[in-house]
């Protein structure tokens, strides 16, 4: 992936040229680790605790890539019974099922529902309330 | 070989991607100000809704068939278009984006197109969720024709030999050909030319005598001889316009100034994006010509700047001043606009000996303005004359969300 360089503040050097000037590399960008294909990536947000036992919590941002195939064990965004839902995709004896802590959607229903994309990662704010202030209230929060 | 890729019912498809419950249902998208129908799903076409139908004329149909209506959400369409084009660009050595939902691709020496093109289509549709159709042929005109035909063959049509081309042009209506406008069509109709096959069977001499150079190119292209290159270069713009209808009539010069402030600001932004400055700024006002009971007034004035500019402050102050002069009390204005002409590249600044140049001060202001508005959203920093209430602002009652461009608008899942 090509790293995009954010423009550094223009340094007007009054004294000595920085010895690091010849060794500048782009600073790490978390986007590289979260979004592999930006033109196929979309975002959703988890609402509720239906996936708690899988470690996905209320408010988590779900990074979703449409280019991936939903295979056994993948978390997917699906559209079922008139709304979007996040489920884990499991291949069972009778075919594919979509599960969360609450219920299971079986293959017969899978025909009608559409798998919209595969969730590649979740983003979550870990700050306690006292620190969720000012610009830090934006950390993984909509 | 050339390919023409286009998105099926693009705006409607983009809306439906985020509202899957509407799959298989009729939906329409309305133009700016919710004026007329500019996109329809297949189901809406079947309900008898025509392209360009004014909203108020089809209101009954909308009710009768329960058609879902959307205001145009260009933020969403722009982003989805970019995704489609980037995905397409991965498959073509060269891609020329022709419009928001169409692109010509050049296939170079890629072999096995019968297998390659369905792959392309599958990948783009999967990655973006937007259905696309791809027509492939030796020339752009034929690729466009193949694309039209592909709508009935699962979205792919590859015309890679003479037999296929001959079969494709045989029944193809001549008015659906790329580059055939109303004028040409009349000419063809008078001669009894109905299909593309009949047109290309006309002798070349006839084209030379009766048609422009474009007609001759079309003739060659229909025979599979490329005459129109893949234009990777955009032609230089001659003018840039920002114009919009108001939600309600404007009868107050102050309110008119607010609207023109917004339009001129947007125009300055567009100029800076293109790295151009303008020497002339035209301001125009329209009344509603369909209302014969209203006094009509279509004034326009072109102002010549002393020095070419793309600064928001310059263009806004001119637009506001000119509009105040054009305004006539007692007239209900329906639409206004600004047009920048006499465009010169930013780098070629011609100074004027009698003008006190600001040595780039305004450029600095503009740069700050653009930077802030890019980071925090359009209109974050704006001219105060734009006002706060903006009652004249476009109507978009049925606007969907910025699913892919605004964090607050991403879809919640259970």
Going from the N-terminus, what domains does chain B have, and what CATH number goes with each? 7-76 (3.40.1170.60), 81-222 (no CATH), 239-386 (3.30.1490.100)
Q: How many CA atoms lie within 13 A of B353 on its CB side?
A: 0
Cα distances (Å, whole numbers) of residue B9 to B133, B177, B227, B338, B399? 11, 19, 29, 31, 18
- For B191-206, give one letter per residue: b (16+ CB within 10 A) or e: eebebbbbbbebeeee
- Could you give the angle at which helices B253-273 and B312-326 cross, rounded to 10 degrees? 140
Q: What percent of chain B has pLDDT over 90?
A: 56
DSSP string, A30-86: THHHH-S-GGGEEEEEE-SSTTGGGT--TT-EEEEETTS---TT-EEEEEETTEEEE
**3-class secondary-structure state, position B177:** coil
Query: A79 at the B interface (CB within 8 A)?
Result: yes
Cα distances (Å, whole numbers) of residue B165 to B148, B155, B161, B201, B224? 13, 17, 6, 13, 8
Q: What are B345-395's pLDDT values in tens digits?
A: 887 766 666 666 676 788 888 888 888 888 777 778 888 888 777 676 777
Checking if the pLDDT of B168 tops 60, the result is: yes
Q: What is the pLDDT of residue A113?
A: 61
A64 with B413: CB under 8 angstroms? Answer: no
Query: B408 at the A interface (CB within 8 A)?
Result: yes
Q: Which residue has the higher pLDDT, A121 or B344?
A: A121
Q: What are the counts of helices (DSSP H) followed by strands (DSSP E) for chain A?
A: 2, 7
B15 with B42: CB under 8 angstroms? Answer: no
Among B371, B391, B394, B392, residue whose Cα is nearest residue B381: B371
Measured CA to CA, the distance from residue B117 to residue B3 in angstroms comes to 9
Residues B87, A114: C-beta atoms closer than 8 Å: no
Measured CA to CA, the distance from residue B276 to residue B240 in angstroms comes to 10
Q: What percent of chain B has pLDDT over 70?
A: 95
Mean pLDDT of A90-102: 88
Report the CATH number of the A37-138 domain.
2.10.109.10
Q: What is the pLDDT of residue B232?
A: 57
Q: Parallel, antiparallel, or unpaired: how do β-strands A75-80 and A83-92 relate?
A: antiparallel
Q: What are A56-71's pLDDT values in tens digits?
A: 999 999 999 999 999 9
Option in A48, A79, A142 nearest B410 (CB): A142
Take residue B77 and report the two structure tokens written for it: 């369409």
**3-class secondary-structure state, position B380:** coil
Reported in sequence order, the residue ranges of B165-205 that DSSP labels E, i.e. its strands, are none
Q: CA end-to-end span of chain B, whole Å?
A: 47
Measured CA to CA, the distance from residue B404 to residue B414 in angstroms comes to 19
Tell me what the pLDDT averaged over chain B comes to.
89
Query: A67 at the B interface (CB within 8 A)?
Result: yes
Query: B375 at the A interface (CB within 8 A)?
Result: no
Option in B87, B408, B413 nearest A44 (CB): B413
Query: A137 at the B interface (CB within 8 A)?
Result: no
pTM of the full structure: 0.81
- Chain B interface mutation, best of A1, A44, A66, highest count of B Cβ atoms under 10 Å: A66
Checking if the pLDDT of A128 tops 50, the result is: yes
In angstroms, the separation between the Cα of residue A24 and the nearest Cα of chain B is 25
Measured CA to CA, the distance from residue B215 to residue B219 in angstroms comes to 6
Q: What are B66-114's pLDDT values in tens digits?
A: 999 999 998 899 999 999 999 999 999 999 999 999 999 999 889 999 9
Backbone angles phi, psi at B306, to 5 degrees: -70, -40
Q: What are B238-289's pLDDT values in tens digits?
A: 889 998 888 888 988 989 999 999 999 999 999 999 899 999 999 999 988 8
Among A119, A123, A142, residue whose Cα is nearest residue A42: A119
Strand ranges of the sheet holding B300-309, from the earlier edge strand across to the other edge:
B239-250, B333-345, B276-287, B300-309
Checking if the pLDDT of A2 tops 80, the result is: no
Indicate the pLDDT class of residue B327, thresholds 50, 70 and 90.
Answer: very high
Bin B129: left if φ > 0, else alpha if -120 < ψ < 50, else beta. left
Indicate the pLDDT class of residue B228, thresholds 50, 70 and 90.
Answer: confident
Residues B127, A37: C-beta atoms closer than 8 Å: yes
A–B CB contacts, 8 A cutoff, strictly below: 61
Q: Which residue has the higher pLDDT, B364 or A88?
A: A88
DSSP 8-state code for residue B36 = B
Residues B83, A39: C-beta atoms closer than 8 Å: yes
**3-class secondary-structure state, position B21:** helix
Q: Where are the domains of chain A?
A: 37-138
**3-class secondary-structure state, position B386:** helix
Q: What is the pLDDT of residue B34?
A: 82
Measured CA to CA, the distance from residue B358 to residue B356 in angstroms comes to 6
Using a 10 angstrom Cβ sphere, with 0-12 exposed, 13-18 middle and 19 or more buried, the burial of residue B150 is: buried
Measured CA to CA, the distance from residue A116 to residue B389 in angstroms comes to 40
Q: What are A6-44's pLDDT values in tens digits?
A: 555 555 667 777 777 777 777 888 999 999 999 999 999
Take residue B322 and report the two structure tokens written for it: 């000119």
**3-class secondary-structure state, position B193:** coil
Cα distances (Å, whole numbers) of residue B406 to A43, A106, B79, B140, B412? 10, 34, 11, 37, 13
Q: Compare all CA atoms of chain B with the CA of A140 and give the residue at the minimum distance.
A: B407
DSSP 8-state code for residue B20 = G
Q: Which residue has the tokens 């806004």?
A: B316
Q: Which residue has the higher pLDDT, A25 or B119?
A: B119
Residues of chain A positioned with their CB less than 8 A from the CB of B120 = none
Indicate the pLDDT class of residue A1, thresholds 50, 70 and 90.
Answer: very low
Measured CA to CA, the distance from residue B49 to residue B39 in angstroms comes to 10
- Torsion of the alpha carbons at B370, B339, B283 and B73, rounded to the nearest 10: -60
Residues B412, A47: C-beta atoms closer than 8 Å: yes
Residues of chain A positioned with their CB less than 8 A from the CB of B129 = 66, 116
- The interface pTM score, or ipTM, of the predicted complex is 0.86
Take residue B352 and report the two structure tokens written for it: 């004027």
Among B161, B199, B198, B203, residue whose Cα is nearest residue B179: B199
């Amino acid at each position: 992936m090509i790293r995009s360089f954010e423009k550094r503040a223009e340094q007007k050097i009054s004294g000595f040229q920085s010895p690091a000037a010849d060794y500048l590399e782009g600073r790490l960008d978390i986007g590289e680790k979260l979004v592999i294909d930006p033109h196929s990536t979309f975002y959703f947000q988890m609402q509720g605790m239906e996936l708690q036992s899988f470690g996905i919590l209320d408010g988590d941002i779900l990074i979703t890539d449409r280019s991936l195939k939903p295979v056994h064990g993948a978390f997917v965004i699906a559209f079922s019974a008139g709304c979007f839902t996040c489920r884990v995709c499991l291949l069972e004896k009778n075919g594919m099922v979509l599960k969360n802590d609450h219920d299971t959607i079986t293959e017969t229903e899978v025909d009608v529902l559409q798998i919209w994309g595969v969730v590649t990662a979740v983003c979550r704010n870990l700050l306690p309330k006292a620190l969720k202030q000012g610009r830090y209230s934006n950390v993984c929060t909509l | 070989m050339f390919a023409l890729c286009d998105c099926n019912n693009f705006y409607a498809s983009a809306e439906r991607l985020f509202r899957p419950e509407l799959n298989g249902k009729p939906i329409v998208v309305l133009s700016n100000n919710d004026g007329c129908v500019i996109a329809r799903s297949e189901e809406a076409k079947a309900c008898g809704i025509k392209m360009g139908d004014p909203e108020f004329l089809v209101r009954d149909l909308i009710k009768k068939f329960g058609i879902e209506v959307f205001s145009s959400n260009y933020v969403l369409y722009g982003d989805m278009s970019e995704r489609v084009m980037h995905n397409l660009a991965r498959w073509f050595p060269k891609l020329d984006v022709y419009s928001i939902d169409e692109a010509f691709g050049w296939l170079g020496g890629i072999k096995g197109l019968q297998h390659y093109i369905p792959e392309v289509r599958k990948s783009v549709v999967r990655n973006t969720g937007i259905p696309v159709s791809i027509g492939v042929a030796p020339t752009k005109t034929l690729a466009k024709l193949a694309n039209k035909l592909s709508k009935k063959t699962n979205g792919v049509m590859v015309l890679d030999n003479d037999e296929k081309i001959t079969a494709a042009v045989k029944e193809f209506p001549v008015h659906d050909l790329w580059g055939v406008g109303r004028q040409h069509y009349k000419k063809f109709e008078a001669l009894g030319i109905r299909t593309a096959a009949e047109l290309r069977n006309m002798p070349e001499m006839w084209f030379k005598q009766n048609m422009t150079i474009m007609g001759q190119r079309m003739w060659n292209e229909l025979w599979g001889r490329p005459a129109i290159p893949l234009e990777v270069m955009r032609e230089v713009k001659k003018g840039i316009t920002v114009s919009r209808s108001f939600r309600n009539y404007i009868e107050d010069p102050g309110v008119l100034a607010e609207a023109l402030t917004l339009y001129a600001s947007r125009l300055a932004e567009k100029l800076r994006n293109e790295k151009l400055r303008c020497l002339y700024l035209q301001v125009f006002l329209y009344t509603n010509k369909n209302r014969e009971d209203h006094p009509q007034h279509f004034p326009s004035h072109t102002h010549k700047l002393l020095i070419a500019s793309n600064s928001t402050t310059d263009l806004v102050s001119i637009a506001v001043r000119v509009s105040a002069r054009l305004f006539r009390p007692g007239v209900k204005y329906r639409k206004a606009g600004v047009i920048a002409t006499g465009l010169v590249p930013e780098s070629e600044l011609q100074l004027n000996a009698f003008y006190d140049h600001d040595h780039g001060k305004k450029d600095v202001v503009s740069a700050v303005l653009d930077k802030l508005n890019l980071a925090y959203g359009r209109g974050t920093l704006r001219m105060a004359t734009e006002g706060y209430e903006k009652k004249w602002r476009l109507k978009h009652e049925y606007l969907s969300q910025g699913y892919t461009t605004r964090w607050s608008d991403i879809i919640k899942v259970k």
